[in-house]
């Protein structure tokens, strides 16, 4: 194999050279650069010399601890409850900010759960990063089936010989061609909490019973709104890939299925879907990777808010590196993101490998 | 043969050009106002006048859009391509001076006599930058609204107290005539938050960092005063007095004019538009006093010298030239800013004694407090902005301020104290 690659293949390497050198210059070198920066205290603007700090940036991002809070008790030893009957606990800041527990200094509550009388509180040294991490994973988890499935559905719809089918193809593909920044701006108007298009449509459909929702302004709807909009935006791109896959399936197979008397579902299940196997793997991996890189929508529509409900890793990397002038911190996030995407792609690769 | 002649011709022409230019040394100037025609015209006028008035220096300007100006300067500094004269936003100046992007401006103190304090950028005991104008913020209201709601008109000498202010908001809300009582401008993300809202915090007795040492924000931002401020801040949104972070930017621009909001917290730059839109009984009121005085932010764009400039004296000559009252007045008339001197103010239409916006000159003069003068401000401002947005969206006030303090302190530590 190695011999085949190198032997009498000068022209091939020559053709690959421009692509390889660009990849090397703009992807591979910057990655090693980022890895090195993540081990230093490099700043964007600073007269101080750069110092090697080891894994400090990583521990500052990833440090987690669990605190156990005991209920507050009154003089008689009874548990103090508030008006709703909820147990009252001392505030986390009495621990994280006291001089008695220097190991928790700078940490902040991420989430908590009840365990018997006590409350277990997970504190993190960088809660925003943790939220960005979970949001990015949530985003990827929802966007993959939504975008992949939606694209397949559209591809099946437009893979027909109808008059004017090209018009539909164009319409579905249109959002892909428009800049994501423009699309994000438009959707900001659509999602507007007072007189946005979405609220107006919903109010009209329900004869005015629908209460307007501030889609991007509430922490429980913001991420969902961005997921829906992102799925819509890129669905056309994957539709074209599915379509290409559909058109490689030989018509004779469909003819044979028709002769056998297969139902529509059976045709899809036993002819179309197996024929799309490789396309499916491509679409899955591409959507996953793109999902982890989500940035523009956040930057234009929410800036990570409200209450960090739409923070994402790439947005945090940029925000830290440029906004907070902390290049080393931003690089650290990029490296963590890289490792994550690499691992997920590897797992996907193993799971979808053709068994021979 | 023919080719040779042409080459000689070009050579001769270029030598002549170089000869003509060598009498004047070229100084580059970077400016943040690309896209604003009036602003560019006035600036170009000053530069033409300067280049014609003396024979040593020739200033050439390059304009950038404001949003990408700071990034461009940072990129140019890293690449070693800074121009001679830099335009810098007041609160950012210490950061650039500390980073070695800027050097002190060799300008005589006489040239600065009579200028508003906040228009002079000082760092480490030296003047680094000087501004032709300042900006100020006030509480917009209609006189008719005040009369209808039976509210006392606050003055510079006796501004509203915190209780009076909240009572005014309550009365406006109870009247049922407005979508919201107060428009804080939550749609304007970025520097607006620390610039416009940190004076409230200062009025409560807190601050973004401890200005006596600039080493920490502990106890200053998250002390009792800070928490009182944060709880008050949150109440503005939970009580429904002000639209939150998802405010429509268009409402920010026209909401007060259209009568959607009873009061608006807005800058002098929007005042002319409000008057022109026919709100002729608009009054510009000072900030409420929450116990520690009524105060507003200050310092706008200023000129300074970059460290890669080999002729700081030329840059200083230009800045001194540009500081003439007639130019200050021209900028003020053109784009509505507060001129730096009383004399220039007297020459303008709006800021002259008795002019519709004269109150802003007094506000700047009496109440302006510059944002923390430290290289760390740039980061602290971002942290503060996020904390305010989070608290407005319902985050716990004390915990959020604690987190902000941790982040600011960590940043100061990572920068070895920012040279304080």
Chain B residues whose beta carbon lies within 8 Å of the beta carbon of residue A46: 99, 415
Asked whether the beta carbons of B307 and B220 are under 8 A apart, the reply is no
Confidence class of residue A5 from pLDDT cuts 50, 70 and 90?
low
What A37-40 contacts at long range (C-beta under 8 Å, 24+ apart), as own/partner pairs, is A37/A327, A37/A328, A37/A331, A38/A328, A38/A331, A38/A332, A38/A334, A38/A335, A39/A328, A40/A328
Task: Note whether B99 contacts A326, CB cutoff 8 Å.
Answer: no
Q: Closest residue of B to A306, CA-based?
A: B393
CB atoms within 10 A of CB A342: 10
| Beta pairing partners, B25 | B57
Please give the span between the terminal C-alpha atoms of chain B, in angstroms, as a whole number: 68
Amino acid B327: pLDDT? 92
What confidence category does residue B17 fall into, taking pLDDT thresholds of 50, 70 and 90? very low
Please provide the distance, in angstroms rounded to a whole number, between the alpha carbons at the two ends of chain A. 19
The whole-angstrom distance between B300's CA and the closest CA on chain A is 20
Q: Judge residue B344's burial from the number of C-beta atoms within 10 Å of its C-beta, 0-12 exposed, 13-18 middle, 19 or more buried.
A: buried
Comparing A84-93, B12-21, B287-296, the range with the smallest average pLDDT is B12-21
Instruction: Give the residue among A245, A252, A233 at the shortest CA–CA distance from A291.
Output: A233
| Residue B113 to residues B109, B342, B343, B351, Cα–Cα distance (Å) | 6, 11, 11, 19
The pLDDT assigned to B9 comes to 45
Condensed to tens digits (0 to 9), the pLDDT of residues B52-105 reads 999 899 999 999 998 889 889 988 998 888 999 999 999 999 999 999 999 999
For residue A73, what pLDDT band results from cuts at 50, 70 and 90? confident
| Domain B137-296+376-419 annotated CATH 2.40.70.10 | no
Domain ranges of chain A: 64-124, 128-351
Angle between helices B224-238 and B397-414 (to 10 degrees): 130
Using the predicted structure, report yes or no on whether residue B20 has a pLDDT greater than 60. Answer: no
The per-residue pLDDT of chain B, averaged, comes to 89
pLDDT tens digits along A110-162 = 999 988 888 899 999 999 999 999 999 999 999 999 999 999 999 999 888 88
Burial (Cβ within 10 Å: 0-12, 13-18, ≥19) of residue A332:
buried
Q: Which of residues 251-290 of A touch B (CB under 8 A)?
A: none
Binary contact (A307, B416; C-beta < 8 A): no
Partner-chain contact B402 A108, CB within 8 Å = yes
Residues β-bridged to residue A87: A81
Q: State which residue of chain B sits closest to A92, comparing Cα positions.
A: B399
Helix (H, G, I), strand (E, B) or coil at A234: helix
Q: How confident is the model at residue B113 (pLDDT cuts 50, 70, 90)?
A: confident
In eight-state DSSP terms, residue A110 is E
The pLDDT of residue B12 is above 50: no
Instruction: Give CA–CA dist B31/B10, Å, rounded.
Output: 33
Checking phi first, is residue B263 left (phi over 0); if not, alpha (psi -120 to 50) or beta? beta
Give the dihedral of Cα atoms A327, A330, A331, A337; nearest 10 deg: -170
Q: Is A91 on the interface with B (CB under 8 A)?
A: yes
Paired with B86 in beta bridges are B30, B304
Cα–Cα distance for residue pair A322/A65, rounded to 1 Å: 29
- Hey, are the CB atoms on B415 and A43 less than 8 Å from each other? yes
B296 beta partners: B368
Confidence of residue A207 (pLDDT cuts 50, 70, 90): confident
- Which among B98, B378, B414 has CB closest to A41? B414
pLDDT-based confidence at B175, cuts 50/70/90?
Answer: very high
Contacts of A41 in chain B (CB under 8 A): 414
pLDDT single digits (tens) A36-51: 999 999 888 888 888 8
At the fourth CATH level, the homologous superfamily of domain A128-351 is MetI-like (1.10.3720.10)
Do B46 and B13 form a contact (C-beta atoms < 8 A)?
no
Domain ranges in chain B are 25-135+300-370, 137-296+376-419
Least confident span in B8-17, B233-242, B268-277, B350-359 = B8-17
- Residue A44 structure tokens: 């964007």
pLDDT digits (tens, 9 = 90+) for B142-170: 999 999 999 999 999 999 999 999 999 99
Contact across the interface for A307 and B393, Cβ inside 8 Å: yes
Q: How confident is the model at residue B3 (pLDDT cuts 50, 70, 90)?
A: very low
Establish if B95 touches chain A: CB-CB under 8 angstroms.
Answer: yes
**What pairs with residue B285 in β-bridges?**
B139
Cα(A110)–Cα(A96) distance, integer angstroms: 13
The reply to whether residue B246 touches residue A193, judged by beta carbons under 8 angstroms, is: yes
Asked if A322 reaches chain B (Cβ–Cβ under 8 Å), the answer is yes
Same fold, B25-135+300-370 and B137-296+376-419: yes
What's the token pair of residue A257?
A: 């299925």
Residue B405 has pLDDT above 90, yes or no: yes
Q: Which of B180, B189, B230, B246 to mutate to probe the A interface, most A CBs <10 Å? A: B246
pLDDT tens across B244-289, in order?
A: 888 888 889 999 999 999 999 999 988 888 988 888 899 999 999 9
Chain A and chain B share a number of CB contacts under 8 A equal to: 76
DSSP code string of A130-199 = HHHHHHHHHHHHHHHHHHHHHHHHHHHHHSS--TTHHHHHHHHHHHHHS-HHHHHHHHHHHT-TTT-HHH
Distances in whole angstroms, Cα of residue B352 to Cα of each of B6, B134, B183, B274, B398: 60, 15, 28, 18, 45
Which DSSP state fits A72? Answer: P
What was the pLDDT predicted at B4? 46
Mean pLDDT for chain A?
A: 89
Question: B246–A41: do the CB atoms touch at under 8 Å?
Answer: no
Q: Nearest CA of chain A to the CA of B257: how many Å?
A: 18
Region A284-302 average pLDDT: 92
pTM: 0.88
Chain centre distance of CA B34: 17
* Residues in chain A within 8 Å Cβ distance of B395: 307
| CATH-assigned architecture of domain B25-135+300-370 | 3-Layer(aba) Sandwich (3.40)
Helix axes of A327-351 and A277-292: crossing angle, nearest 10 degrees: 160
Flag whether pLDDT at A312 surpasses 90: yes
> Which residues in chain B are closer than 8 Å to A44, comparing Cβ atoms?
74
Which of A181, A325, A326, A328 has the most B C-beta neighbours within 10 Å, making it the best mutation to test the interface with B?
Answer: A325
- Chain A closest CA to B284's CA: distance in Å? 28
Tell me the HSE value of A353 on the side-chain side, using a 13 A CA sphere.
8
Q: Is the dihedral of CA B404, B405, B410, B411 positive or negative?
A: positive
Name which of B364, B365, B362, B369 is nearest B198 in CA terms.
B369
Closest residue of chain B to A299, computed from CA coordinates: B189
**Cβ atoms of B198 and B208 closer than 8 Å:** yes
Across the strands, what pairs with B282? B142
């Amino acid at each position: 194999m190695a011999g085949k690659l190198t032997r009498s293949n000068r022209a091939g390497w020559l053709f690959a050279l421009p692509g390889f050198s660009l990849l090397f210059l703009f992807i591979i070198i910057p990655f090693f650069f980022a890895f090195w920066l993540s081990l230093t205290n490099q700043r964007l603007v600073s007269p101080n010399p750069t110092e090697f700090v080891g894994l400090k940036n990583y521990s500052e991002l990833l440090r987690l601890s669990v605190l156990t809070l005991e209920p507050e008790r009154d003089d008689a030893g009874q548990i103090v409850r508030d008006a709703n009957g909820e147990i009252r606990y001392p505030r986390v800041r009495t621990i994280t900010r006291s001089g008695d527990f220097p190991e928790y200094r700078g940490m902040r509550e991420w989430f908590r759960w009840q365990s018997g009388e006590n409350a277990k509180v997970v504190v993190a040294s960088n809660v925003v990063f943790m939220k960005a991490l979970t949001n990015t994973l949530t985003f990827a988890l929802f966007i993959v089936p939504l975008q992949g499935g939606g694209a397949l559905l559209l591809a099946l719809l437009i893979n027909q010989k109808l008059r004017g089918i090209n018009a539909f193809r164009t319409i579905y593909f249109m959002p892909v061609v428009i800049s994501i920044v423009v699309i994000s701006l438009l959707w900001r108007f659509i999602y507007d909490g007072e007189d946005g298009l979405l609220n107006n449509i919903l109010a009209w459909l329900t004869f005015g019973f629908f209460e307007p929702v501030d889609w991007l302004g509430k922490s429980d709807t913001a991420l969902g709104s961005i997921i829906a909009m992102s799925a819509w935006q890129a669905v056309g791109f994957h539709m074209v890939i599915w379509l290409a896959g559909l058109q490689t399936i030989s018509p004779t197979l469909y003819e044979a299925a028709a002769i056998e008397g297969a139902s529509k579902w059976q045709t899809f299940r036993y002819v179309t879907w197996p024929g799309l196997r490789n396309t499916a793997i491509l679409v899955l991996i591409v959507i996953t990777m793109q999902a982890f890189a989500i940035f523009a929508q956040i930057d234009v529509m929410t800036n990570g808010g409200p209450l960090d409900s739409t923070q994402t890793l790439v947005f945090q990397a940029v925000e830290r590196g440029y906004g907070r002038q902390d290049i080393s911190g931003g690089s650290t996030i990029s490296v963590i993101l890289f490792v994550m995407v690499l691992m997920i792609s590897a797992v996907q690769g193993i799971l979808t490998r053709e068994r021979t | 043969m023919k080719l040779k002649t042409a080459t000689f011709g070009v050579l001769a022409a270029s030598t002549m050009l170089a000869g003509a230019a060598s009498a004047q040394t070229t100084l580059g100037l970077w400016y943040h106002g690309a896209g604003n025609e009036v602003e560019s015209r006035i600036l170009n006028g000053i530069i033409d006048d300067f280049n014609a008035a003396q024979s040593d220096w020739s200033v050439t300007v390059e304009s950038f859009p404001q949003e990408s100006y700071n990034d461009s300067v940072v990129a140019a500094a890293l690449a070693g391509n800074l121009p001679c004269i830099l335009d810098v936003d007041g609160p950012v100046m210490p950061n650039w001076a500390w980073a070695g992007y800027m050097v002190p401006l060799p300008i005589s103190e006489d040239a600065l006599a009579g200028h508003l304090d906040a228009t002079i950028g000082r760092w480490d005991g030296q003047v680094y930058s000087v501004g032709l104008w300042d900006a100020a913020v006030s509480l917009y209201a209609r006189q008719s609204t005040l009369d209808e709601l039976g509210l006392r008109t606050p003055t510079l000498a006796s501004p509203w107290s915190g209780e009076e202010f909240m009572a005014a908001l309550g009365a406006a809300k109870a009247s049922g005539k407005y979508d919201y009582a107060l428009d804080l401008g939550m749609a304007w993300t970025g520097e607006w938050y620390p610039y416009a809202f940190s004076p409230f915090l200062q009025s409560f007795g807190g601050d973004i960092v401890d200005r006596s040492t600039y080493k920490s924000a502990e106890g200053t931002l998250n002390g009792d005063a800070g928490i009182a401020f944060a709880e008050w801040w949150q109440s503005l949104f939970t009580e429904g007095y002000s639209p939150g972070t998802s405010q429509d930017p268009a409402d920010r621009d026209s909401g007060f004019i259209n009568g959607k909001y009873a009061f608006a917290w807005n800058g002098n730059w929007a005042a002319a538009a409000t008057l022109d839109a026919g709100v002729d009984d608009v009054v510009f009121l000072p900030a409420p006093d929450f116990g520690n005085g009524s105060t507003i932010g200050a310092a706008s764009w200023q000129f300074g010298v970059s460290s890669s400039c080999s002729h700081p004296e030329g840059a200083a000559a230009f800045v001194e030239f540009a500081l003439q009252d007639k130019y200050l007045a021209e900028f003020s008339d053109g784009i509505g800013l507060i001129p730096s001197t009383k004399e220039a103010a007297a020459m303008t239409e709006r800021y002259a004694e008795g002019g519709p916006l004269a109150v802003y000159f007094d506000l700047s003069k009496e109440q302006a407090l510059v944002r923390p003068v430290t290289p760390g401000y740039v980061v602290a401002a971002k942290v503060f902005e996020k904390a305010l947005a989070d608290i407005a969206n319902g985050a716990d006030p004390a915990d959020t301020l604690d987190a902000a303090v941790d982040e600011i302190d960590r940043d100061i530590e990572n920068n070895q104290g920012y040279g304080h």
